[in-house]
Structure formats: structure tokens, C-alpha cells
Structure 1
Amino acid sequence: MTLFSLARKNIQRNLSNYFLYIASMVFSIVIYFTFVTLKYNDDLSALKQSSQQIKGLMSASSVVLLFFIVIFMAYSNSFFMKKRKKEVALYSLLGVRKQKIGLLLFFENLVIGLVSLVLGIVLGFFMSQGLLMILVRLMGYEIVGNLTFSIEALVNTTVIFTVLFLFTSLQGYRVIYQFKLIDLFHAEKQGEQIPRASLVAAVLGTALIAFGYYTAASDMFTSEIWRFFTVLGTPLMVIGVTIVGTYLLFHSVSVFVLTALKRATSWSWKGLNLIGVSQLLYRIRANAKSLSIIAILSATTITAGGGVFGMYYNAEATVRQMLPNTFMWKGDPVDFSQKDVIYNESLSVKNLRVDNEFSFFEYTLLKESDYNRLAKLQGKDQNLHIADGSTVLLDAAYDERFSHDFTGENFKLKNGDSFHVEKMYTESVLNFIPAGTVLVVNDQEFAATNAEEIKMQAIGLDNDLKQQVVSQDIIKQLSTEQQESFSSVPQSYEDSIATVGALLFVGSFLGLVFLAATGSIIYFKILTEAEEDQAKYAILNKIGVNSKQILKTVAGQVAVIFSAPLIVGIVHSAFALLAFSQLFGMNITKPVILWMIAYSAIYFIYYIFTVRSFYKIVRQGN
């Protein structure tokens, strides 16, 4: 029997152990191949200005994905080598030369890698068309691409992953030369070094996380902490203290919690609770570093994905806040054919400057009658009756953190006129481009104000987000000066959704890869420990502990190991997204909750899979 055929038989025999690793690798290769395919896809060139942006995004994402895959492969490979060390020792004990054993491990790793590569490329080819359609839909386009095989993507993926698999295979080859025979036989008993719990570390970890949360939730414009560390330095500081605090949380805080449970005899003496909590003490302390990394990675994935999904979810509302009319521009009306017209209004406005510290802003003066007419057409329940010498200010870009509230103040204009601000609304009836901040006065005051009247056109269409053709038809009829003042809801929405949609696409699939990898890492760790615990559960079975009790204990332990980093990651991301929400002034609660539920649901699938595998290993020892 050749070494290659022996390697193939070993893989077949251990396929259940390798399955999740192979599945995760195949999925990673599929996503990488898809990103590279999209980078070289000719159909994206049809997206004009967006094409280079997307290709740059795909290139950057491919690098990030590749970096993570390298770490995941190295981490996973170390688990497999640990599981195989006893088998390697037996080969050595039977007289097989080290070189042959090393080549056997080399071939096994290489075969697994090449099989994953072939499956990943084949699936990536068939899935890339569907993923391209998802990307295009998320970006708001409707182009239909052809199923084409990218030679550039094939070569890129094959070369990079072949090099990676050769590297991990060489790691396998070197195992036999790195350890003594006795070390290989007792490899499974060599866990991570168990740190001693410290009260100081526990208090420090809790304090660091609390400080990070407090800073993230603080107003960056008024907080002394943000002012001291600066806008760029504060986020880095928060990330640093949160990472250290998370490690100390798993290193020491969790130990005190579990120790307290262990000492609570009313709980610990029920069933197998004492055994379960004792094993958890060992596992959480021994794997503090791994659990911390998984928690931080989960927090990063949820924060990035939740933030982008929140922006995507709010894209339409943001556009409508700034552009209440489908189209608007300064100048004369134009002809266009469209059956979906709700209104087509021509307005007279005046541009003015205020004689105060805000004099560099140009304000638009609007008649009360025009405001009331537009407000009614736009479905706003507002009907103004403004007194002489007064005005209502409309500022769609108002932000209480750094915008000035003019309510109750007097506006003195450069031409000598003065108006008292009765009210201030944070929504307007005119598009922010070209109108900016608007002052509404009664018709008599408007006529008496000494300034040049400017024509402005406001058009409202039904199904306005799909009116790109009309937008292009109108803009072709405008002069260069008029085009500079032209604003379009469908165009603004398309520009917004194109950028955020591409980010959502990349973030979602990178998040899935990270989730698959972190879930796999926990799976490998727990199953490695399950094999070490076989003898303990066999003893429990012999003294009368039934299968139901063992399953309950297994499910409880695995639940803690899975849920601890997930819960910590979710709480971390919640505070990070709170800061994100405050910074951009948008409500992202609903999309973030949906994102967290989706992430947790996929995580739960890994949990179920791990419990079943853990219980199967334990039962095999009976």
C-alpha cells in the first residue's frame, strides 16, 4: 500500500472529524473565489462609476478574508495534529521511519486541501452568478450578467490556496520531528496552561469593560474623555481596554462566578451539576485566550454588519429627509412625459444672507402660501399662519449636537430686514439641494423683501425611487448652471444604496466566513476535550448515571462555552453600535436586532451540531 493510498484511507476513516473543517474551508474558498470573480467580472463595468469602487472593495475584502483564512487554517491544523499525535506515536513504535510518517501527514493535509480547493472553485463558479445578482440587487441595479468562468479568478485562487495548503502540509510533516515519543502518546493530556484566577484581575477586567462601555456611550462632542484622547484616539483606546477586559473576564471573572455556583450546595449537589461546573472551570480558564478572541471577533462582525445593515435600512429615509420632492432645480420648467406625476409646481424664492456669525450661509426665503401648498401635496399635516415680522425656519440637516437652535431669536438680513424666528422645523418642503436652510414668511413680507426672485421647480412622482429615466430626461434639458442645482431622489438613492449595498454584501459574507470559522474552532476545541473526558463519563455510566443525565450535562457545558463569547460579543457590539447610532444620528435598533438574531441563529446550529458530536464521542467510551 502506497503512502498516498494510506493517507486517503486515513481521511476516509476520520471524515467525521474533518467534515466541519472541510466544509468551513470550502465555504471560505467559495466566498474568496466569488470576490475575485466579481473583481474581474465584465458585467460590473456596466455600473460605470461604481465599478472601480466595487472592484477595489472586492480586492480589499479578498485580502482581509485571506488573512483570516490563514489564521483559521493554522489554528485548525494544530487541533488535528494534537488528535493525531497518538496515532503518529504508534506508527513510530511499529518501526515506521520518521520521514515516511511525515510524508503520510503531508499527503493527508495536501489531499484535504486540494479536495477543498476543487469543491470550493466548482461551487464558487455556480454560486458566483447568484451572488452577483444579490450584489446587484443590494446596490439597486437591474443588470443581468452571464455565467462566465473567470480564468484570472481560477489562477488567483488556485495559486494562493495551493501555497497555503502546502504550508499547512509542511506543518504536518514537521510534527514527527518536534516531539519525543512519550510526548506524542500523552499529547491529549496536554491542554492549554491554566491561569490562576486573581481578584485584582477580575476587578480590573470588569472596570476596563465598564470604562469602555461608558466611553462608547458618551457624547463624543461633549465628553471630556473624547476630548482628551481625540476623535481618532478614543475608539482605539476603547478597543484596547475592551480587549484586555474581555480576556480578564474569561480569565478571572468567570472563575469567581463558577466557583460561587460550585459552593452553592443547594444547586451544585443536584444531579451532575458539580461535575459540570468543575469541568467548566477548567475549560473556561484553560481557553480564556481563545474565548476572548472569539468574543472580540463576534463583536467586530456584529458591529460591522449591524452598522452597515442599519445604514442600508435607513438609506431611503435619509434621502427623503433631505429631498422631499422627487426632482428640484433652480430655473425654468422643462417638458417630460410621465404618467406618475403627483404634482409639478413652479415656485418663486429669494436667496439671502444673514448679518451674524452664520453670514457665510445662504438662506432661501419662501412664501407662506407656497409652503402650505407644497406641504399639502407632500402629505404633511402643517398649515402655517405667520405674523408680520416673523419667520418659521426649516433645517432638514439640523443636529442638536452641533447645529444652532434659532427659535426665539431675531434674524437680521444683510439687506437690513429683520425677522423673529417663531418656530424651527427639522424637515422641509424644499430639497436641501438647492434650497438649503429655508425661511418661511407670509406673502406680504416676501413681496416687501428687497432681493431678486429666483424660479425653482418642484416635481413629485409616484414610485419615485424607480424614476431614473425621467431624471436623466430632465437633466439633459438643463443648462450646466441648472444641473449644479438639480437634485433627484432616484439618483441620490441609487448613489447611496450602491455604496452601502456593496458594503452590506461584503460585510455579510465576510461575517458568515468569520462565523463559520469561529464556530468550527469552538467545535474542534470541545470535541478534543470530549475525547479526553470519555473515561470520566464511562465511569459515571457504570455507577448508574443514565444517558439523559449525561446528555443534559453535555448540553449545559457546551451551551456555556458557546454562549459566553456570543453574549459578551453581542453586549460589546451593542455599545459600539450605540456610539455609531449617536454619531450618525440614525435609529438602527430594528436592523441591528435582526442582524443579531440571524448571527445567533447560525451560531445555534453549530451548538446543536457540537452537542450531538460531543454526546456521540462520550457514548462511544461506554
Structure 2
Amino acid sequence: MSLNSIILKNFFKNLKNYTLYMFALVFSVALYFSFVLMSQDDSVADELLSSDLMSTGFIVGSVFLIVIIVTFVMFANSIFLRRRNRELALFQLIGMTRDKVLRLLVVENAVIYFGSLMIGIAFGFLVYRMLLMMLLRMMQIDLAVGMTFSIEAVVQTALLFLFIFALLMAQNYIFLKKTTLINMLKLEQSSEATYRGMGKGTVIFGVLGLSMIMSGYWLSANMMNFGNLLIFLMFGILFLTIAGTYITFKFSVAFILNMIRKSKNGHVNVNDVLSLTSIMFKMKSNAFLLTLISVVSATSMGLMSLSYIAYYSVEQTIEASVPNDYTFYEESDMEFYSDLLNENAIDHETVHIPTISYNGEGDAITIDPEAPGGFDTALSLSIVSDEHVDNFEAKDDEIMITGVAYFIDSYIDFNLNQTITLSSNDYKREVELKSIGEQAVLPSFVTYGSPQAIVSEEVYNELEKNHNDDEETNQPREGFGIDIAGEDSQGIYQFMSEYDYPPFESKIGQYNMQMQGSGLTMFIIGFVGLAFLLTSGCILYFKQIGESEDEKGSYNILRKLGFTENEIIKGLTIKMAVTFGVPLLIGVLHTYFAVNAGWFLFGNEIWVPMLTVVGAYIILYSVFALISLLYYKKVVKQSI
């Protein structure tokens, strides 16, 4: 039989094992190619308020995509080499040189790889328009999308995957050169961790791993109590959670499962044999891979959750920082645009709000002493009279605080019906706190992010009379704005934007910019997260294929002992739930504590965005567990 015949026969023999691998390759090529096509679409870039926003985002995203794809291909190839070690050894035993074996692998991989490359580019071109429409919808840009094909994108994709193919061939060459014939025949056995019972070391490290993770969680939940050590604390949390995760997979899982097995007092059933016992052997040898999957899954879900929180909270963020449809730095600027609107018969109302700054302290304001920003016990407040704002009416000796940014709640507590002492140098005035709100009444460039406080006209006049102006701060003391009658529109905004001077800020402009920025960020992170989810799920699936083939003899024995197919499948279902569920559970817990530590810096809602992301991730991840179980079911049927 010629070498070409062996290559052809061997290729079709192993084709069934490469099905999901080829699908993952095609999907990876399609993702990267469509990603490159979108980054080169000038029609979209022209619609963005920031010309560098899209290019920077896609460059960062493409780097992460490349890292994920390269890691996946190298991992998958390593798994396949180990699965085929006996086959490769037999080729050498029948007289084939290592060069011919390498040639066989090169031809096989070339057919699979470059076939997947061509199919992936074609598929990427087809889905490119759909993905671009999804991106535009997320950024709320109304633009007709056409089909754009780029030779440059094809060349860029082909060069990348040609480079990855070269890495694969180098990996194959090193494997064949360094692995002896005897080691190839024994590689399958030596790759599995040998279970040596529950020694004291396993118990100690098992408890240590769980303790490290819980310590990391506790520190992340109390980060704001360590304000001066925040940077060092973050590195400490990373070390505790990552190292703790590795030790958990290496020792803690076996420790817990062994305790469950011992609790049965020797009365184990087929489910225990196929799930608990098997996992105790396998988790230890795959500790590094499972740690990598858990940590990167947590990173993906965490970043997607934070980006969705920012996207979900855009409207509330605008309302809390931009009080009017248009805000201006000077009164003359406001009058200029007011005259312009009058000339074009656009009904509007001008807004002029004077303000003074006072420090507030007392029983109504509790500030965390470790809070960032240099706060001691007083909070800077921008005082406004209720005569100058709508929907607020303060009685004498009452104060209503509004424009409270969502992140302030993490280190400042407000207590209603308690006293606030307003102070300016030696003058002090006590008022009672009646309400707290998020709606801004002054623009952020006037308040510098501080909350606004509404008091009665009488109290405001008294405060203004006794206020000590600090000339050195050069802080604006007035807010100027325009509110369009009815509702503002993109048409009016575009009309006003035609004038470069004087400058202004607008709700629509801020909304467009934040939606574009957060929408693009969420899309790219979701894109990269999907690529990782696909590749990590495939790697776990490939691992299960290998384990199912190794355990085929065990299924044969169990069937001969009288166990039914359903009983065996039930045990394997538990095994799949633990194998896929434990890394996912740890990843979800890491995600929750990471997001919970800093979500308030991105928006004002955590549960809806985070549960949406985590729920979608769990559903997609479960698909790979189901596919693995179906493969096990097929192996069990073939065991007799």
C-alpha cells in the first residue's frame, strides 16, 4: 500500500473525530474574517462621533481573538496527538520513518485546515452583514448596510491561519522528534494522574484551596474598606482566586468527592463508579486546563456583564449628568442659540440656575473614612433655590439632595429626616434632609460631579448672603441651558451642531456618544467571549471523546454484569454535570464577586445585565455537555 493510500484511508477513518474540530475551525475563521471586514468598513466609521473609536476597539478585539484561536488550535492538536499516539507508533513499527509519519500529519492537517479556511471565509462573508447590522443596532445608528468584500481581509486572514498552521507543524515535528516509540505506546496511561488514596496532603490542600477562594471572595466584597491598599489588594485577590482555583481542581474536588463516597460506607452503585470515581482520577490531571477555562470564563462573563451594565444604564447616566436638552458654559452662548432657534420658529425655554457651594455634614450624611476622593466627614454640595427648578418644593429648614451618582452610594449613606449642617468658613446652617434623587438639575461641568441640594428661596438667600466665594477655584456659579418644547430631536441637534462655535453639550449628543462607545465595547467583548466559549467547550468535548474511548472496556464489563444502558447513561449524565458544571460554577462565582466589587462604577443596575449574560453563557455551555453525553451514549451502545 502506497503512502498516499495510507494517508487517504487514515484521513477518512479519523474524519468523524474531527467533525466538531472542523466546525470550530470554520467558526473561528468566520468570526475573524467578519471581524476584519467590519473593521475595514469606512461607511460605519464615518457615522461614529469618534473616528478612532471603532479602529481601536477592533484592533484590541482582533488581538484577543488571535490569542484565543492560537491557544485553541494548539490545545486541540495536542489532544489529538495524544489520542493517536498508538496509531502513530504502529506506523513506525510497520516500517514508516518519522519523516513519512510527519508528512502524513502535514497532509491531513493541510486538508482539514485549509478546507476549513476556505469554508470559513465564505461563511464569514455571509454572516458579516448580519453581524454588522447587529453592531449598528446596538450603537443605535441608522445606516443601510451593503455587502462588501475585501481582498485585503482575505489576505490578512489567510496569513494569520498560515502562521498558525506553521505552529501546528512545528508542534507535530517536536512531538515526533522527542517522543520515543515506547513512550508513544505508554503515553495514554502516563497522561492520567494516578490515584493514590486520600493522604494528609490531599486533605490539607483540599481545605486550603477552598479557603483561598473564599478569602478572595471576602476581600473582594470588602474592597472599599481598604481604600489605601486597593491596588495591592486587587493583586492579592487575583492570586488567591486563581491559585485557589487550581488547588481546588487539583485536590479539593477529589477531597469532597471522596467524602461523599465514604459517606456511603462502601455501598457504591453504578452511578458512583461512573461519576465520582472517574472524576476523582480525571480532575487532578486536568487541573491546569480546568483552571484556565474557569478563570477565562469568569473574565469573559465579568467583562460582558460590566459592558452590558454600562450599556443598560446609559439613559439613567445621561439623566443624572445632563439636566437640560442643551447646556452652555456662558450666558451669551445660550442667548446665541436661543436667537437661532427663534429665527427658525423652534419653541424652547431658556434655563438660568445660579448656585453656591457649601460643605455638608451631620447625622444625615455618613461617609466611609476609607472612601476615595479625599473626603473626611463633609460632602461638597451645590446649593440651588427651588424657585429656579421644576418639580421641587422645599419648605423652610428642609433640603432635598439630587444628582447623586450611582457610585456615590458605595461609600456615602444618606439618612432621611436627619440633620445636615451646611458650612462655609465660620458660618453654619442646619437643615433637615427630606429626599434623595438621581435627577441632575445642574450640568456636571458646574458641579464637578458633586450632588445638588435644593432649598427654599428664603434659605438660599440666607446661604448666599453668608457664602464665602473662593476666587482661586474659578468654579462656575451658574448653569445655563435650553429645553426644547415637547421633545428634542435628532434634526434639531444636527441643526445646532452645524455651528462650531460657541460650544455646547446636549442630551442627544451625550446619549449618542455613550451608546456608540458602550455598544461597540459590548459587541467586541461579546464577540471575543463567544469565540472563547466555543473553543473552551470544544476542548472539554475533545477530552470527553478521549475518556469515553478509554472507558469503553468498562462499559462492556458493566453491561455483562447486568447493568442496563439507561443505568450507565444515568451515571455518565452525573459525570457530565460535574465535569462541565464545576468549572462553570466556579467561573460564575468568580464573575459575581468580581462584578459586585465594582459594578457601581459602570451603571446603576447589576442584576438584569449580569443574570442575562450568565444565563446565556450557561445555556450555550450546556450544549457542549449535551453533545458529550450523546457521544458517550453512542460509545455505550457500541460497547457490546
Q: What TM-score do you get using the length of structure 1 for normalisation? A: 0.87
- Corresponding residue of 2:483: 459
> How far did residue 325 of structure 1 move?
3.5
CA contact (8 A) 2:298 2:590 kept: yes
Kept after mapping to 2: 8 A contact 1:305/1:595: yes
Q: Answer whether contact 1:103 1:173 (CA < 8 A) is retained.
A: no
Q: Does 1:120 align with 2:149?
A: no
Contact 2:274 2:575 in 1 (8 A): no
Cα deviation, 1:111-139, whole Å, max 9, x if unaligned, reads 21111211121111222222122122212
Q: CA deviation at 1:613?
A: 0.9
Whether the aligned pair in 1 keeps the contact of 2:31 and 2:124 (CA below 8 Å) is: yes
Match of 2:609 in 1: 591
Q: Which residue of 2 aligns with 1:289?
A: 288
1:501-530: CA deviation from partner (whole Å, max 9, x where unpaired) = 111111111111111111111111111111
Secondary structure at the residue paired with 2:141? Answer: coil
Matched, 1:138 2:147: no
Secondary structure of 2:563's partner? coil
Matches within 5 A, 1:392-471: 392-397=400-405, 399-401=408-410, 408-411=419-422, 420-423=430-433, 425-428=436-439, 430-433=441-444, 436=447, 437-443=451-457, 456-459=480-483, 467-471=489-493
After superposition, the Cα gap between the structure-2 partners of 1:365 and 1:44, relative to the gap in structure 1 and judged at 3 Å, is: same
1:117–1:413 distance in 2 versus 1, CA, 3 Å: same
Aligned to 2:240: 241
Matched residue SS, 1:47: coil
Partner of 1:263: 262
User: Which residue of structure 2 lines up, in the alignment, with residue 545 of structure 1?
Assistant: 563
Corresponding letter in the other structure for 2:84: R
CA deviation profile, 1:446-492 (whole Å, cap 9, x unmatched): 6785699968444156665xx23222323556952xx3xx3322111
Q: What residue identity is the alignment partner of 1:620? A: Q
Q: Cα distance 1:4–1:471, how it changes in 2: closer, same or farther (>3 A)? A: farther
Give, in whole Å, the separation in 1 of the partners of 2:271 and 2:478: 82
Q: Report the equivalent of 1:492.
A: 510
Listed one character per residue, the Cα deviations across residues 207-262 of structure 1 (whole Å, up to 9, x for unaligned) are 21111101111142x32xx53xx333322221111111011111111112111122
Instruction: Give 1:339 deviation, angstroms.
Output: 13
Letter of the structure 1 residue corresponding to residue 354 of structure 2: K
**Bigger Cα displacement from structure 2, 122-131 vs 175-184:** 175-184
Alignment deviations for residues 310-336 of structure 1 (CA, whole Å, 9 cap, x no partner): 111112122122234333444333454
Residues 344 and 460 in structure 1, CA contact (< 8 A), matched pair in contact too: yes
1:345 aligns with 2:349: yes
> Where does structure 1 lack aligned partners over 5 or more consecutive residues?
376-382
2:322 — aligned with what?
323
Deviates more, 1:189-198 or 1:230-239: 189-198
**Aligned positions of 1:560-571 closer than 5 A:** 560-571=578-589
SS at 2:354 equivalent: strand
Aligned to 1:473: 495
Give yes or no for contact 2:359–2:381 (8 Å, CA) kept in 1. no
Aligned residues: 598
Assess if the C-alpha contact under 8 Å between 2:26 and 2:119 holds in 1.
yes
**In the alignment, is residue 615 of structure 1 matched against residue 633 of structure 2?**
yes
Instruction: Provide the rounded CA distance (Å) in 1 between the counterparts of 2:258 and 2:354.
Output: 74
The 8 Å contact of residues 363 and 435 in structure 1, kept in 2 or not, is answered as no
Structure 1 contact 336–473 (Cα < 8 Å) conserved: no
Q: CA separation in 2, counterparts of 1:267 and 1:314?
A: 55
In the alignment, residue 111 of structure 2 is paired with which amino acid? V
- More deviation, 89-98/278-287: 89-98
Q: SS of the residue aligned with 1:325?
A: coil
Q: For the residues of structure 2 that align with 1:472 and 1:542, how far apart are their CA atoms?
A: 79
Give distance in 2, aligned partners of 1:263 and 1:328.
71
Q: Is the alpha carbon distance of 1:314 and 1:347 closer, same or farther for their aligned partners in structure 2, counting shifts above 3 Å?
A: closer
Deviation readout 1:13-61 (Å, 9 max, x if unpaired): 3222111111112212222222222222222331354332211121121
Residues 391, 420 of structure 1: 8 Å contact kept: no
Q: Is the 8 A contact 1:393 1:439 kept in 2?
A: yes
Are the counterparts in 1 of residues 357 and 383 from structure 2 also a CA contact under 8 Å? no
3-state SS, counterpart of residue 615 of structure 1: helix
Distance in 2, matches of 1:386 and 1:589, equals: 37
Q: Which amino acid is 1:128 matched to?
A: Y
What is the letter of the counterpart of residue 12 of structure 1?
A: F
Q: Which residue of 1 aligns with 2:249?
A: 250
Structure 1 position 350, deviation (Å): 2.2
Matched, 1:84 2:116: no
Residue identity in the other structure for 2:540:
I
Aligned in 2, Cα 1:525/1:385: closer, same or farther, shift over 3 Å? closer
Contact 1:25 1:116 in 2 (8 A): yes
Q: Deviation digits for residues 248-300 of structure 1, max 9, x if unmatched?
A: 11111111211112222279534442443211211122222222221112111
Instruction: Specify the SS of the correspondent of 2:12.
Output: helix
Are the equivalent residues in 2 in contact too, given 1:353–1:363 (CA < 8 A)?
yes
Deviation at 1:392, TM superposition (A): 4.2
SS of the residue 2:50 aligns to: helix
Q: Which piece of structure 1 moves more, 100-109 or 139-148?
A: 139-148
Q: Counterparts of 2:479 and 2:59 in 1: how far apart (Å)?
A: 47
Q: 1:412 to 1:114 in 2, by over 3 A?
A: same
Task: State whether residues 267 and 273 of structure 1, in contact with CA within 8 Å, keep that contact through their aligned partners in structure 2.
Answer: no
Higher mean displacement: 12-21 or 525-534: 12-21
State which drifts further: 448-457 or 76-85: 448-457
Note the C-alpha offset of 1:102: 1.5
In 1, the alpha carbon distance for the partners of 2:240 and 2:507 equals 43
CA contact (8 A) 2:92 2:98 kept: yes
What CA RMSD, in Å, does the superposition of the two structures yield over aligned residues? 3.3
